[in-house]
Structure formats: structure tokens, C-alpha cells
Amino acid sequence: MADIIRLCLIGLGRTGKEVAKVLLKRKDMDIVMAVCSSGSDKIGKDLGQIIDSRDTGIIIDSCDALDENILKYKPDVAIDFSDPNATVRNAEILGKRKVNMVIGTTGFTEFQIKKLMNISKIHKIGIVYAPNITLGVNVLMVLTNLAASILEGYDCTIIESHFKNKKDSPSGTAKKIAKEVLKGMSGNTDIAAHDLDYSDVPIRSVRAGGIIGKHHVIMAGEYDKVEIVHESFTRTAFAVGAIKAVSFINKKVGFFEMSDVLDLRRVMTRYLEREANYKKQRFFNPEMQESEISV
Ligand SMILES: NC(=O)c1ccc[n+]([C@@H]2O[C@H](COP(=O)([O-])OP(=O)(O)OC[C@H]3O[C@@H](n4cnc5c(N)ncnc54)[C@H](OP(=O)(O)O)[C@@H]3O)[C@@H](O)[C@H]2O)c1
């Protein structure tokens, strides 16, 4: 049996608490540290206390004690849903102590993202940078890229909706979707992400009530339109993505995104090969029944 992955959970807000609930049910992963902000009223409480479950034996501690707690509890991977400035500060410590990271926090500046890349390079740790951690929204991105590359001359607009107090606007995911649109439109396979300016695609942000997260891409031409929508209706979707990313990054070195975690390149190649194989079989065996063709 594979080793149990020891986890450090950083950020115990709306999302971090949901991730904790899902992780506590797993046998292959163990939360060994739960980290809150310095001065938080969560310090010293049992993790179970803040997620309305029975005591877990995991005592929440401040990020100020991150370094000494890493030495004590030896986590393999940290899952971070906190705040961009906090993430960068904590990443320096995690990097020095060789703890890999899954970063779900959003709202980083380009400079901060480069800093995270550098931390992974200098300290030789693995980081999954996932401003878009749900599996479904990653499917939306692939579909958007494909649609943009086919629908020449169509106008694209992105509408993203989130809860009232979400700090960043537009969402990190909406910016990434905009870049997928531009990549698809350019048709250029060598284009670098930093050469793309997300503001070239109109993004409308809605901040209302308790909406967890919805991204809606509209591509309209003169005569028809395509709409691609993804909606998370429970924060468990973020936990599922984070767990997949943890399994991927454990013991790896390098800076990755969710497209690497989901191995989208292999999925697309497999799709193209399957389609080509199907067409070949039909061409060489025209009398073959549909049910006899291997797919
Ligand atoms: N990637 C995705 O798909 C995805 C999905 C959902 C959310 N997010 C992002 O994840 C982040 C958190 O979202 P949320 O909705 O859970 O926000 P939230 O409810 O405000 O939770 C953030 C938590 O981080 C804690 N924190 C602040 N500084 C910290 C530090 N130095 N060390 C440890 N913890 C610290 C906060 O304070 P206390 O410790 O005092 O409680 C708070 O509990 C946001 O950036 C959000 O956009 C991303």
C-alpha cells in the first residue's frame, strides 16, 4: 500500500473548512497541521470544533509557528486556501523545509506568481498553482480554447458570478478563461501565457448573495452563438480538485497547473487518435457494422 500523505492545511475559512471535512474521511491522506492567521481566534482550538464535527486531535496553530510545526509534524504537502500575501510568505518557509504545495488561493499579482515559481525552482519543491481547482472548470477551459480556435470572428464575453464579499474581481479563473480564448483565437501553439492580456476579452463580474462560483462564456457570431457554463454548487468541488492535485504533486518537483494534474494533453491526444482510428476502420471496412468498430 502507498504511504499515507501527511498534509498541512493553511487557511481555515469557507473553503479550507470544506477541504478539511472531505480530508478527514480519507484513509490515504492525514491532516497533521491546521494553520490560521496570526491573532486568529481559531488558535488553540481543535480542528473538529470549527467544522462542527467531533474532536480530531489536530490543534490549530498560527502561521507564526509554521516553521517549528513543520519540523515537528513533517507534512509532505500543504494545501493553501488563504490570502495571496500570506501564501507568498508561507511558501518561503514551506520551500525551505521542502514541503510541496497545492495553492488554491487566488488574487496574486504577476510578480507574486513569479515569486512562487522561483520558490519552487530554488528550493526544488513541487507546486500546483490552481486558481481554478475544480475538475469541471478545467473542462470548460479546454472547450473554450477549442471553440475559440474554430469560431473565427465571433465576439466573446465572460460573465463570472461569486458571493458578495469575494475579494478579487474579476476572478482568477475568469482571467485564465480569457487567456484560453486568446490562445484559441491566435492559433499559435508557441504562444507564452505572459504575452496574453486577459483584458482583451470583456469580463463582467457579478458579486451577489452566496453564489459559490459560476463562469459563463458566450461566443456570439452574426448567425449563432455558443455558450459554455460551469457552476460549482458546493465547495466540496474545490476539495475534490485539491485532493487530486495533492496526489499528483506528492514527491514531485516543479511548477504545475491543473491542466498538468488532469493530464489534458494526453486526454486530447487520445481523443484524436481514437477518432482517426475510427475513421480508418470505416474507410477500409465500409461493410462493417457500427457495433463492430473498436473505439
Ligand atoms: N482555486 C479555486 O478554485 C478556489 C476556490 C475557492 C476559493 N479560492 C480562493 O481561496 C482563498 C480563500 O477563499 P475562502 O473563500 O475560503 O476565503 P475566507 O473564507 O476568507 O478564508 C481565508 C482564510 O485564510 C485565513 N488566513 C489569512 N491569512 C492567513 C495566514 N497568514 N495563514 C493562514 N491562514 C490565513 C483567514 O483568516 P483566519 O485564519 O483568521 O480565519 C481565513 O480564514 C481565496 O483567495 C479564494 O479566492 C479558490
Q: How far is the CA of 227 from the centre of ligand 1 (A)?
A: 30
Of 42, 96, 123, 166, which one is the catalytic site residue? 166
Domain regions of the chain by residue span: 5-133+236-265, 135-232
The residue whose CB lies within 8 Å of the most ligand 1 atoms, and thus the one to mutate among 33, 82, 132, 257, is 82
Strand ranges of the sheet holding 254-256, from the earlier edge strand across to the other edge = 61-62, 29-36, 5-10, 77-80, 100-103, 126-129, 254-256
What would the pLDDT profile of 231-276 be if each residue is shown by its tens digit?
Answer: 999 999 999 999 999 999 999 999 999 989 998 878 888 888 888 8
Q: How far is the CA of 29 from the centre of ligand 1 (A)?
A: 21
DSSP SS3 for 209: coil
Q: How far is the CA of 14 from the centre of ligand 1 (A)?
A: 7
What would the pLDDT profile of 115-159 be if each residue is shown by its tens digit?
Answer: 999 999 999 999 999 988 999 999 999 999 999 999 999 999 999
Average pLDDT over residues 62-82: 98
Whether pLDDT at 219 is above 90: yes
Q: Give the DSSP H/E element, type plus range, for residue 266.
A: helix 264-284
The ligand 1 atom nearest the CA atom of 104: 1
Q: Does residue 166 carry a catalytic annotation?
A: yes
Predicted pLDDT at 281: 83
Pocket of ligand 1 (CB under 6 A): 10-16, 35-37, 40, 42, 63, 81-83, 86, 104-107, 130-134, 238
Average pLDDT over residues 63-77: 98
Predicted pLDDT at 4: 96
CATH T-level topology, domain 5-133+236-265: Rossmann fold (3.40.50)
Average pLDDT over residues 207-225: 97
What would the pLDDT profile of 156-207 be if each residue is shown by its tens digit?
Answer: 999 999 999 998 899 989 998 999 999 999 876 666 666 788 889 999 999 9
Q: Does residue 123 carry a catalytic annotation?
A: no
Predicted pLDDT at 157: 98
The candidate with the shortest Cα–Cα distance to 294, out of 85, 280, 286, is 280
Are 172 and 105 in contact by the 8 Å Cβ rule? The answer is: no
Predicted pLDDT at 43: 98
Pick the CATH number of 135-232 from 3.40.50.1220, 3.40.80.10, 3.90.1150.10, 3.30.360.10: 3.30.360.10
**More confident position, 285 or 62:** 62
Q: What is the spatial distance between Cα 116 and Cα 97, in angstroms, rounded to a whole number?
A: 15
Predicted pLDDT at 271: 86
What would the pLDDT profile of 281-292 be if each residue is shown by its tens digit?
Answer: 878 887 777 777
The pLDDT-based confidence of 2 (bands split at 50, 70, 90) is: confident
Measuring from atom 40 of ligand 1, which residue has the nearest CA?
Answer: 40
**Whole-number mean pLDDT of the chain?**
93
